[in-house]
Structure 1
Amino acid sequence: MSERLHETAEWLLHSPLFFVLLTLAAYRVGRELKDRTGGHALAQPVLVAIVIVGAVISALGVDYADYRSGTELIAFWLGPATVALAVPLHRQAHRLRGFVVPMLVAIPLGAVVSVASAVLIVQAFGGDELLVKTVAPRSTTTPVAIGIAETIGGLPPLAAVFAIVVGILGAVAGPAVLNLLRIHDRRARGLALGAASHGIGTSRALVEDETEGAFAGLSMGLTALATSILLPILLVLLT
């Protein structure tokens, strides 16, 4: 009987169902914690879910590759979820009036600053070219960061880590920094969060305000596009 239980436990630990349920439950705990803390900046559901899932798979001795392959279903739905961000933008399309030109100037400049600062910081601390190419696309959404890193010769898994960390930091600290700088225009706040912290920052912006979330989603997409175009040129100039 004990041997059967052991076999069942082993099967469960390597079952996609277990990993999917673990991820969803961890995110749900993060949502509950955020509600109970009154929306505290550190109680970001994504951050809470990462901590819980990391602790559980580490305690159980589960290899990350097994967890990653077991959650392909969730990863698949990230694409449609990202596309769905166009819905709030469509509702706020009238807010684009008089804002298109500043936005089209700010997004490329933001991409330049993001890539250039990453390259210069890594070089200042003695990082090699491989690390530069891995960190450079950190402000794009994770799938794009992985694709860019793979194309330019970086390390895609590590690029994903940097993108997620930047997204969490932006979602946690971004609104406070914008308040400190007295930036209250919802459109400008959304552009800043989407450009700096992509999907995770956009989810935070959607909680703050629908207009802010809509512009964050737009900024996330345009920043990914601008970074994809400008990054190879900037690497040539800076390295």
Structure 2
Amino acid sequence: MDSLTLLNIFITIIVYIGAKKLSQRVSSPLTTPILTATIIIIVFLSLMDISYQQYVPAKEWMTILLGPATVALAVPMYKNREIIKEKLKPAVLGLVIGTISTITSAVWLSKALGLSDTIQAASAVKAVTSPVAIEAVVHIGGDPSLTAAFVITAGIFGAVMGPIILNLVEISDPFSRGLGLGTVSHGIGTSQAMMEGPIQGAVSSVAMGLVAIITSIILPWIYPIIHL
């Protein structure tokens, strides 16, 4: 590991810690750590004239930690397993409907705007966690790199705007809020749900996983139909 990679990892960790402390002091969806940290790191890389290609090795090292971090989501899920089991059946029905609606609306909106087939395919999987989205989009002729950008953008937007929209429509139930955030903004939304409370975080984790499974099953069948 070279010195530049070490510097990028160090800066990323420090920036995220600072962003998290900011979100704790200023409680607002607009201070979501992933959003503020992303903006600050982009500014830093630009000022230091560090290209994205130079930053990639640091990103790959930090990506390794996603595995343990994802496994750690099982802890709040286990602690709140009773409420999850109690509402699992209606939740799964809602997730199926929500997933179909998300895919359909994204593709139809892209078509209405006259966007290319590649963008339509990427938009269809924007609400799914990156590893699943990148694999799934290949089967419908999409571009994995573009898909990754869509997934990250959708996750940040969902984490920022999701709580605001839920507040506007007066949805305060922890289970419902976690379900909504996990469904539309996968891991990034789950991190925001974790900040709201343990139930929200646990339910969002379940939603993120189930949406990935549902999308993997129905996408090859539904996409050719709505793409006509």
TM over 0.5: yes
CA–CA distance in structure 2, aligned partners of residues 26 and 216 of structure 1: 25
Deviation at 1:97, TM superposition (A): 4.0
RMSD, matched Cα: 1.5
Indicate if the aligned counterparts of 1:141 and 1:220 stay in contact, CA closer than 8 A: yes
1:36-75 superposed matches below 5 A: 36-37=25-26, 39-75=27-63
CA–CA distance in structure 1, aligned partners of residues 139 and 55 of structure 2: 25
TM-score, normalisation: structure 2: 0.94
Q: Aligned match of 2:101 in 81, 91, 113?
A: 113
CA–CA distance in structure 2, aligned partners of residues 72 and 97 of structure 1: 36
Task: Tell me the number of residue pairs that the alignment of Structure 1 and Structure 2 aligns.
Answer: 226
| 1:91-147 Cα deviation digits (max 9, x unpaired) | 101112431210110111111011111100110000121111112100011222222
1:24-173 superposed matches below 5 A: 24-37=13-26, 39-173=27-161
CA–CA distance in structure 2, aligned partners of residues 90 and 218 of structure 1: 11
- In structure 1, the gaps of 5 or more residues are 1-10
CA–CA distance in structure 2, aligned partners of residues 78 and 123 of structure 1: 34
Counterpart for residue 179 of structure 2: 191
TM-score, normalisation: structure 1: 0.89
Counterpart for residue 8 of structure 1: none
Indicate if the aligned counterparts of 2:140 and 2:223 stay in contact, CA closer than 8 A: no
Q: Aligned match of 2:215 in 227, 230, 237?
A: 227
Indicate if the aligned counterparts of 1:29 and 1:48 stay in contact, CA closer than 8 A: no
Q: Deviation above 4 Å: which 4+ runs of structure 1?
A: none
Q: Aligned match of 1:182 in 170, 175, 178?
A: 170
Q: Secondary structure at the match of 1:42?
A: helix
The more displaced of 68-77 and 206-215 is 68-77
Indicate if the aligned counterparts of 2:129 and 2:151 stay in contact, CA closer than 8 A: yes
Larger-Rg structure: 1
Counterpart for residue 3 of structure 1: none
| 1:43-91 Cα deviation digits (max 9, x unpaired) | 1111111111111112222221221222212101112211211110111
Indicate if the aligned counterparts of 1:34 and 1:44 stay in contact, CA closer than 8 A: yes
- In structure 2, the gaps of 5 or more residues are none
Counterpart for residue 21 of structure 1: 10
Indicate if the aligned counterparts of 1:86 and 1:218 stay in contact, CA closer than 8 A: no
Indicate if the aligned counterparts of 2:191 and 2:201 stay in contact, CA closer than 8 A: yes
CA–CA distance in structure 1, aligned partners of residues 99 and 40 of structure 2: 32
Identity in percent: 37
CA–CA distance in structure 1, aligned partners of residues 138 and 95 of structure 2: 23
CA–CA distance in structure 2, aligned partners of residues 79 and 113 of structure 1: 29
CA–CA distance in structure 1, aligned partners of residues 23 and 212 of structure 2: 29
Q: Secondary structure at the match of 2:64?
A: helix
